[in-house]
Amino acid sequence: MPTPNPSQPRYKRILLKLSGEALVGEHEFGIDPKVLDRMSLEIGALVGIGVQVGLVIGGGNLFRGAALHAAGMDRVTGDHMGMLATVMNGLAMRDSLERSNIRTRVLSAIPMTGVVDHYDRRRAIRDLKDGDVVVFCAGTGNPFFTTDSAACLRGIEIEADIVLKATKVDGVYSDDPVKNPNALRYDRLTYDEVLDQKLGVMDLTAICLCRDHDMPLRVFDMNKPGVLTRIVVGENEGTLIAKD
């Protein structure tokens, strides 16, 4: 493996997936502005070294369709609410990034004239090349999916070099490390190993998409300061999921 060089990022274009739940921070529900500002700083550092950043933010801090359905709501309505939650997170992220003087474009899979622009792949690529951070919100625009799948889909569409899944655990484990303290962390896995062992850090649709389009994925802990820059310059953080 070549030695990491901070002035020469290994990845030119990334798709970063941020967990919605992580935005709660010290609050009980919703969005903690301190978390957004910390993430903006980390993302700004990447833009500063010339990395093109596409962003997908989950909605788990506000609504998840499956949870609403379990409480009695129609599933599709719940999923629509979940997708709208990701738009709110996208707006909050743009606000924080722009307060740090980082140019940001929010593109939504669901048309929302007057609030955000509608997703258009060619436009997204142009904006990325111009140095804007592009936030893709409203997931895939379809119910029964998750923002992990949306992140992998957008990553493939914009021809990102890698999908980076920022979460609250420091990689993929043999079992959910939050529930099983004896779970073992993997450094590297193939797509088929994740699928065969049903490792639950991401939904399996997302893993299948990445496998079918040979898109590498890295799962890492966003709470470690400087972690994004370290990954982008080629240091080993969390777990890499790739072909072999």
Ligand X SMILES: O=c1ccn([C@@H]2O[C@H](COP(=O)(O)O)[C@@H](O)[C@H]2O)c(=O)[nH]1
Ligand Y SMILES: Nc1ncnc2c1ncn2[C@@H]1O[C@H](COP(=O)(O)OP(=O)(O)OP(=O)(O)O)[C@@H](O)[C@H]1O
Beta carbon of residue 137, minimum distance to ligand Y (angstroms, whole number): 12
The reply to whether 200 sits in an annotated binding site is no
Nearer to ligand X by C-beta: 75 or 123?
75
From ligand X, ligand Y, none, which one binds at residue 40 (CB under 5 to 8 Å depending on kind)? Answer: none
Neighbour count for residue 99 (Cβ, 10 Å): 12
Binding site for ligand X (CB under 6 A): 20, 58-60, 64-66, 78-79, 82-83, 85-86, 139-140, 142-143, 145-148, 150
Binding site for ligand Y (CB under 6 A): 19-21, 58-60, 147-148, 167-169, 172-173, 175-178, 199-201
**CA-to-CA distance for 95 and 85, rounded, in angstroms?**
16
From ligand X, ligand Y, none, which one binds at residue 139 (CB under 5 to 8 Å depending on kind)? Answer: ligand X
From ligand Y, ligand X, none, which one binds at residue 172 (CB under 5 to 8 Å depending on kind)? Answer: ligand Y
Beta carbon of residue 117, minimum distance to ligand X (angstroms, whole number): 18
Nearer to ligand Y by C-beta: 83 or 124?
83
Beta carbon of residue 178, minimum distance to ligand X (angstroms, whole number): 16
Beta carbon of residue 179, minimum distance to ligand X (angstroms, whole number): 18
From ligand X, ligand Y, none, which one binds at residue 168 (CB under 5 to 8 Å depending on kind)? Answer: ligand Y
From ligand Y, ligand X, none, which one binds at residue 83 (CB under 5 to 8 Å depending on kind)? Answer: ligand X
* Residue 39 buriedness (CB in 10 A; 0-12 / 13-18 / 19+): buried
Which residues are annotated binding-site positions for ATP? 17-20, 60, 64, 167, 173, 176
